[in-house]
Structure 1
Amino acid sequence: MRPLRAFRRPLSVAAVAYLGIVLVAVIFAPLLAPYDATDGDLDHVLSGPSALHPLGTDNLGRDVLSRLMYGGRVSLSGVAEAVLTVLVLGVLSGLLAGFLGGWVDRVIMWLVDVVLAVPVIVTLLVVLAVVGSNETAAMIALGVLGSPLLTRVVRGSTLAVRQELFITAARVSGLPNRSIALQHILPRIAGPIIVQASIFAGAALLTETSLGYLGLGTQPPTPTWGGMVADASTVIDQQPWLLVPAGVVIGLSILSFGLIGDALRDAGARQAPPRRRKVVAVASSEAKPEPGALLSVHDLTVTLPRSEVDTVVVEGLDLRIEPGEVVGLVGESGCGKSITGRALLGLLPEGGQVTRGAIHFEGRNLAGRRRSELRGLRGSGIALISQEPLSCLDPVCTVGRQVDELVRRHEGGNRKQVRARTIELLGDVNLPDPERTVRRYPHELSGGMAQRVLIAMALAGRPKLLIADEPTTALDVTVQAEILELLRKLRAETGMAVLLISHDWGVVADLCQRAYVMYAGHVVESASVDELFDGPLHPYTAGLLGCAPRRARPGRRLPAIPGTVPDPRTWPAGCHFAPRCPMATEACAAAAIPLFEPATGHETRCIHHTQVKGGENAAVA
């Protein structure tokens, strides 16, 4: 939300101007007030407005204007104490509940329900009975009792924002929860917080003046707005005017707080509804890490909630990446490629779990690890770049600030050293004029520039494995070639391994040494890229290759595999590709198909692999 847009309406401008004038008068009362608040003029008792006393005098001859200025210091200080209490308790508890979830969320929301059940006025009277006329204690108590409403608002907004891709990107980069919550989530939910604070300020002022009217707040001779209303009510039959100044100031102040809150609410963007709580992935396996492998995955099975039922979306997946190797993961949309990449980092969607298998990185099994352990690995061990670069960048932070925090997180250093490293990283990814780019916001970047920034952020932790999830899908052909060349250059310079997730065989052929072909949660074939192109041993692989535009014949329609990838809830019992395969037989649907290894390093999940020819039996139409 852009706050300035909220104040284009005349009423909003008038409300802000009025409160500004009141605050100036209150703060500088010792300099601006014509008299001291307790000075009496016995020659002009209960007088109306005059040149000597612009707003008249009270029953002791005290100047009403001066008492309004001094009284505002007490009344508005009480409002500030209440609002500050609400902000501290409400924002902190709402952020913790919405961001951490789990038992923290349940405990905080239980406390919120308990506090909401407590009657506010009765509690304030009890507090004043215990501590005497201590208005500070009363207003802090009011803030405590009012904080649950803000807690609920902040929690709901946090639940929505934490699902954004740029929050996932921050987690992948290894940022701690504290930095993500304070630097990325809190600025995005500032609008609803300001709205609630302004509305509560009006309610707090009404409560404070009510306590002063009842004589339960600050005691005479110290002036308060509520006390002035009480004094005026005792002489209303002698001087009705005396009720006007304090009443108008109080009423306009409450109205101004409300108008500002309404303006901010109307200018704010709609918040997304909260989503379900994330379920922590837990898994175990007896498998040992493969010798010499940087990453080895064995029998990986992942489930996601679909219609309140946990559904397997990746099943029995094996994968291996050597240090410095570029490996492709190929398949149509919906085959489980991106879910596999996120499972490696412990960043599954809401309710997702690794239910079986092992994920060994540098000999350590990541499956079943605690969040804190995985956080330490993200960015420095494994990094991720996404296919939606602009969605992964925080729209309210400059490029420089976002790269800076990752450099500071992984390498440390003072402000000057961090910024120098940031500019170096942006230069390494071939961004023109890095010194200028650090001052830009994401909306000022093109798709190619945003993707380069994401790559620079991924490199900030000097990772050993980079997961590139469709890094060129949203880019035009020229920029695609530049990004691929950049990845090739960075891999050669840094020695990092790359897992390239893609559906584009041209990209795989250009960059990868080996590739895994994935279909409906299964790896159906794996081999070197040359072997897959020259002699595929699975009908799905052959079908994908036959659909590649680069293999199209002039004058003929581009072939396509009939049908679509099945929903995980309707996977066939046997070969998942059988319903779309022209080579399918009854044996294909009878039972699960194991992996065969017809040649060293070349595996396929097809009982008819000896009959598959590169294009002749391709499953295309």
Structure 2
Amino acid sequence: MSERTGTVRRLLRHPLGLVSAVVLAAIVLAVLLAPVLSPQDPNASSLRDAFGGPSAGHPLGFDSAGRDILTRLLYGGRNTLGGAVIALAVALLLGVPSGLLAGYYGGWFDSAANWVVNLVMALPAMVVLLASRAILGSTVWVLMVVLGFLVAPAFFRLVRGIVASVRNELYVDAAKVSGLRDPRIVARHVLLVVRAPIIIQVALVSGIAIGLQAGLEFLGVGSGDTPTWGAMLNEAFKNIQRAPSLMLWPGLALGLTSGALVLLAAALRDALEDRGTAPAGRRSRRRARTAAPAAPAAPAAPAAPRSADAGTPRTGTPRSADGTSPEAGERAELLSVRDLAVSYVLPGGGTREVVHGVDLDVRAGEIVGLVGESGSGKTQTAFSILGILPEGGRVCRGSVTVGGEEIVGMPERRHRALRGDVVAYVPQEPMSNLDPAFTVGSQLVEPMRHKLRISRAEAVRRALDLLDQVEIADPRRVFGSYPHEISGGMAQRVLIAGAMSCDPRLLVADEPTTALDVVVQAEVLGLLRRLQKERGLGVLLVTHNLGVVADLCDRVAVMREGRIVETGTAEQVLHAPRHPYTQKLLGAVLDGVPARGPWQPSNAEVV
């Protein structure tokens, strides 16, 4: 069942949503079919029928001018609802795109847009509309365009605020690293977050537009003889003592329309946000019906056994086709960092350098560990390589080449082309790097379709194969699951599968096992090791865990306070460290410490 079909079904199961949808649909169809339902002219009058009651062909009777009330109600609905649609369209076209741009990119556009929005919101709407009538004329459509301009700031502020809080989410960074362009990220990940608030705002603004238009017409600020619900209220109010029932029909139409809009918007919001909550039995039956029997997976290559001593480095090196081990200098250099410096703009002005003169290399077929305590600059270095430094950060000095291309100063469009198929990223915190609004499968398929230009069917096949390669027991179930339906270890495997999906040559893994327990951690490390050997990847492993370094890495670079203080092979750094900081790190490892004995209560605790 597609997401759209599921949303419709959830909406139809919502009592208020169903009733409000039926009411609103009936009103809209009635006003659209006005020439069919009541073919006479809404302005045709017969004074002898003034204030006449219901009769054949005139079920609602006549108004004070002898005009058919039903006809004017239907044609008036066309004008009233049409005006609201115009105001809403103008507000959406002005407010939503500008809010998306301001919230996502910030900068000068954000400042200028906020200044304009504050200016518009300071204007009294009713005064502006009355002035517009005097200047532009009394046509309802023109006044609704002005009203749309006046209410656009409400959409701008709503969208901008939500987007500004979402743009730094880890799953947005993950989408950037996968190589997706900004418009696709905004449309797929960011706009999805704001759609529910936009739906509610649409209902509120539509109600305001209908009510304000009716109020203007009620006050006589309208288009003369053009039938509208507000004009009917105005005419009924003038004759309220003689025929108070004339107030009923336009008032009822206004109330039902506004109420149905709000209730339908709330129900639609609930239907869109309520995903992945079907009962487990129903989900399993649905998957059993739709999933084709999977072919038996080939047995995975066994992961290299972890040394009993966590401090023993992995000494095996990749071999060439003839079985010989190439020298390090003969391997293709995938990453070269020279004199890298990263700085951030401070809130009060000035800058602060957080990474200072880093030199680093990663060659094809080797794993290089970047080690240091929290705050040492490891992740900032990795983000510089990937081109995803947080807002305010920039590479202020140095050179970074990836796959032989200099990326410092490279246009974002060209840098984006390198992500995914040249350099890929495995982040920490797996659950935060998967968008909760999409299934696992859709998050694997989308980057492949964009980067590899393949069909959806081929992308699905590759995604299922990748899930099998990362040792997920039931790829089809995980493919159709939302992130909250899988475990943290499984989510990390999904991220590794996503990183491998476009066959990159360089992999940047930032603390890939931090959020996992020791059993799952060992499985993920074994998986990384196997994939690196099978594909000949170069891997930059960012970690603070020396056990992980000993288990995986060929070479190690130790980082402290934004500087590389020691580099060397894993065996040399871990067994014969030269720098005092490296010695301190190794001294903090608890290997060799005797186990604590059983707990014994002290004398003070014995009663």
TM-score (norm 2): 0.79
Q: Give SS of 2:368's match.
A: strand
Paired position in structure 2 for 1:81: 86
1:196 to 184, 197, 201: 201
Q: CA deviation at 1:36?
A: 7.3
Paired position in structure 1 for 2:352: 311
2:450 to 378, 384, 409: 409
- Aligned counterparts of 2:440 and 2:588: Cα–Cα separation in 1: 39
Q: CA deviation at 1:501?
A: 1.0
The residue identity in structure 2 corresponding to 1:392 is N
Q: CA deviation at 1:419?
A: 2.5
Query: Structure 2: any 5+ residue segments left out of the alignment?
Result: 1-6, 274-328, 599-607
Paired position in structure 2 for 1:240: 244
- Aligned counterparts of 1:10 and 1:422: Cα–Cα separation in 2: 39
- Aligned counterparts of 2:131 and 2:9: Cα–Cα separation in 1: 42
Contact 1:167 1:184 survives alignment (8 Å): yes
Show the 5 A alignment for 1:353-364: 353-364=394-405
- Aligned counterparts of 1:441 and 1:491: Cα–Cα separation in 2: 28
Paired position in structure 1 for 2:374: 333
Paired position in structure 2 for 1:515: 556
Q: CA deviation at 1:467?
A: 0.7
- Aligned counterparts of 2:471 and 2:253: Cα–Cα separation in 1: 60
Deviates more, 1:350-359 or 1:441-450: 350-359
Q: Could you give the per-residue CA deviations for residues 363-406 of structure 1, whole angstroms, max 9, x where no partner exists?
A: 33322333333222222222111111111111111122212220
- Cα separation, partners in 2 of 1:414 and 1:36, compared to 1, 3 Å: farther
- Aligned counterparts of 2:514 and 2:45: Cα–Cα separation in 1: 79
- Aligned counterparts of 2:40 and 2:592: Cα–Cα separation in 1: 92
Q: CA deviation at 1:336?
A: 1.7
Q: Give SS of 1:294's match.
A: strand
Q: Give SS of 1:485's match.
A: helix
Are residue 293 (structure 1) and residue 297 (structure 2) matched? no
Are residue 503 (structure 1) and residue 507 (structure 2) matched? no
Paired position in structure 1 for 2:69: 64
- Aligned counterparts of 2:263 and 2:481: Cα–Cα separation in 1: 34
1:394 to 435, 439, 449: 435
Contact 1:297 1:318 survives alignment (8 Å): yes
Q: CA deviation at 1:219?
A: 5.0
- Aligned counterparts of 1:28 and 1:427: Cα–Cα separation in 2: 56
1:146 to 138, 143, 151: 151
Paired position in structure 2 for 1:428: 469
What is the number of equivalent residue pairs in this alignment?
A: 536
Contact 2:403 2:422 survives alignment (8 Å): no
Contact 1:48 1:241 survives alignment (8 Å): no
- Aligned counterparts of 1:41 and 1:11: Cα–Cα separation in 2: 42
- Aligned counterparts of 1:207 and 1:297: Cα–Cα separation in 2: 62
Contact 1:465 1:496 survives alignment (8 Å): yes
Q: Give SS of 1:524's match.
A: strand
- Cα separation, partners in 2 of 1:268 and 1:433, compared to 1, 3 Å: closer
Query: Structure 1: any 5+ residue segments left out of the alignment?
Result: 270-288, 558-621
1:547 to 588, 593, 597: 588
Paired position in structure 2 for 1:483: 524
Are residue 170 (structure 1) and residue 175 (structure 2) matched? yes
Q: CA deviation at 1:450?
A: 1.0
Show the 5 A alignment for 1:200-215: 200-213=205-218
The residue identity in structure 2 corresponding to 1:311 is R
- Aligned counterparts of 2:189 and 2:208: Cα–Cα separation in 1: 30
Paired position in structure 2 for 1:302: 342
Contact 1:49 1:56 survives alignment (8 Å): yes
- Aligned counterparts of 1:177 and 1:362: Cα–Cα separation in 2: 23
Contact 2:11 2:18 survives alignment (8 Å): no
TM-score (norm 1): 0.77
- Aligned counterparts of 2:358 and 2:45: Cα–Cα separation in 1: 88
Paired position in structure 2 for 1:610: none
Paired position in structure 1 for 2:281: none
- Cα separation, partners in 2 of 1:131 and 1:389, compared to 1, 3 Å: same
- Aligned counterparts of 1:101 and 1:3: Cα–Cα separation in 2: 36
Q: CA deviation at 1:137?
A: 3.2
Q: Could you give the per-residue CA deviations for residues 326-372 of structure 1, whole angstroms, max 9, x where no partner exists?
A: 10111222222112111212222231222222212233332233333
Q: Give SS of 2:397's match.
A: strand
Identity of aligned residues (%): 45
Q: Give SS of 1:329's match.
A: strand
Contact 2:17 2:268 survives alignment (8 Å): no
The residue identity in structure 2 corresponding to 1:231 is E
Q: CA deviation at 1:91?
A: 0.7
- Cα separation, partners in 2 of 1:94 and 1:212, compared to 1, 3 Å: same
The residue identity in structure 1 corresponding to 2:171 is F
Contact 2:90 2:149 survives alignment (8 Å): yes
Q: Give SS of 1:189's match.
A: helix
Contact 1:218 1:224 survives alignment (8 Å): no
Higher relative contact order (CA 8 A, sep 6+): 2
Q: CA deviation at 1:185?
A: 0.2
Paired position in structure 1 for 2:234: 230
